[in-house]
Amino acid sequence: MNLLGKNIASDVLFKFIFHIVLWAIWIGLPIITNSDNERAYEFSIAIIPVALTNIPLFLLNSEWLVPKIFGKKGMTAYLLSLLGLIVFFAFFQNWMKEVVVPCHLMKRHNDVFWAVVPVAFVTAISTGYGFISLLLNQEKSRQEEQEERLKSELSFLRSQISPHFIFNILNSIVYLIRSKSSLAEPVTIKLSELMRYMLYESGGTQVPLEKEVDYLQNYVELQKIRFEEDVDIRLNIEGTPGPQLIEPMLMIPFVENAFKHGVGLIQSPVIDISLIIREKSFVFNVKNKTTIEAVEDKDSASGIGLRNVQRRLELLYPDRHELKVGQQGEWFNVELKVWSQA
């Protein structure tokens, strides 16, 4: 059963228990307290059918008037409707007393006071219950709406990962096939593994860190094949991924950014990637050589991937990450620390 189903089942169970307790007290308390008085005890037994009509009164007010009339038409319409409900049930219960209660018990109980007070009392309880339920439902709806917006935003941010890498690798595969290189098949397999991870395995909320590391290694291997000896690509991984989970595609945007701005016009380009894995945290570092000219010539779309991943970190790892991005001499450096909840 999903979370929504569990919440609905929990709400239904609470309402069921609440009504069982409320009406057991409403009907049973007069019988118990009047057990010493034969006349009052007999009246309490005879009035049970009348007391039961307070259940539909309660439900009509709390489940219909409050959410439907007050929630959509306002206080004035609600009060007028509530007044009509009270008048109707007061007359209806007074009529029922004449039908079900023996005549010798009606003398002291068949007046306006005993006709209106029980109805007004039940109405007051149901009004309080209805407004509390309305506020809780509104808060629940607000939280669900916020969660849906968060899911939509995360989905959008994930989708912004650049497809240029895939196109470049496909071009490299075409070149390898034409040159009849033995690398064509393993490169194609690695690319298919990357695309499978991007399309299927990264669709969930979180993935094992081990799979994210495998994706990172495949990505770097393909970039090495693509650039051959033109770019010095370094990858160092320390530690063994354990059972910890991670937001998918969290590290790759930093690596993509390094390849986007750390090759091309850069003399002796270097991409240096390191990942240090500890039991409850990891430190991810990406460095690429750059120049002042390269920094100034960045296009308007530059940094979108970095901004996206920063936003994802804010949403998913509040107070559980540290991100440092900046220029240090001829190096552009990104350092990300993520730790699990205490």
Question: What is the Cα–Cα distance from 95 to 89, expressed in whole angstroms?
Answer: 10
Query: Residue written as tokens 């016009």?
Result: 265
Please say whether the beta carbons of 98 and 50 come within 8 A. no
The sign of the dihedral angle between the CA atoms of 151, 157, 158, 159 is positive
- Domain segments of the chain: what residues? 3-155, 160-339
Question: Which pLDDT band holds residue 2 (cuts at 50, 70, 90)?
Answer: very low
259-283 mean pLDDT: 90
- What CA–CA distance (Å, rounded) separates 115 from 130? 23
Strands, DSSP E only, in 171-239?
207-208, 232-238
Please state the length of the chain.
342
Share of the chain above pLDDT 90, in %: 31
Quick check: 227 and 264 in contact, CB under 8 A? no
Q: Is the pLDDT of residue 293 over 70?
A: no
Residue 317 sits at the vertex; the CA angle it makes with 313 and 319, to the nearest 5 degrees, is 115
More confident residue, 133 or 43: 133
pLDDT value of position 269: 93
For residues 174 and 305, the model is more confident at 174
pTM of the model: 0.57
Determine how β-strand 331-339 pairs with β-strand 321-328. Answer: antiparallel
Contact call for residues 259 and 285 (beta carbons, < 8 A): no
- When mean pLDDT is compared over 24-28, 249-253, 291-295, 302-306, the highest value belongs to 24-28
Residue whose pair of structure tokens reads 């595609």 in the numeric block: 249
Residue 297 has pLDDT above 60, yes or no: no
Q: What's the pLDDT at 111?
A: 60
Contact 330, 290 (CB under 8 A): yes
Cα 61 to the center of its chain, rounded Å: 32
Question: pLDDT by residue (tens digit) across 137-194?
Answer: 888 878 876 776 676 666 655 555 556 667 767 877 887 788 877 888 888 888 888 8
Once rounded to an integer, what is the mean pLDDT over residues 250-261?
87
How confident is the model at residue 1, as a pLDDT? 47
Question: Which pair of tokens denotes residue 180?
Answer: 């009849």
CB 325 within 8 A of CB 279: no
pLDDT at 203 over 70: no
Cα–Cα–Cα angle for 118, 120, 124, nearest 5°?
Answer: 115
pLDDT 10s digits, 67-106: 999 988 899 999 999 999 999 999 898 888 888 877 766 6
Class of domain 160-339: alpha beta
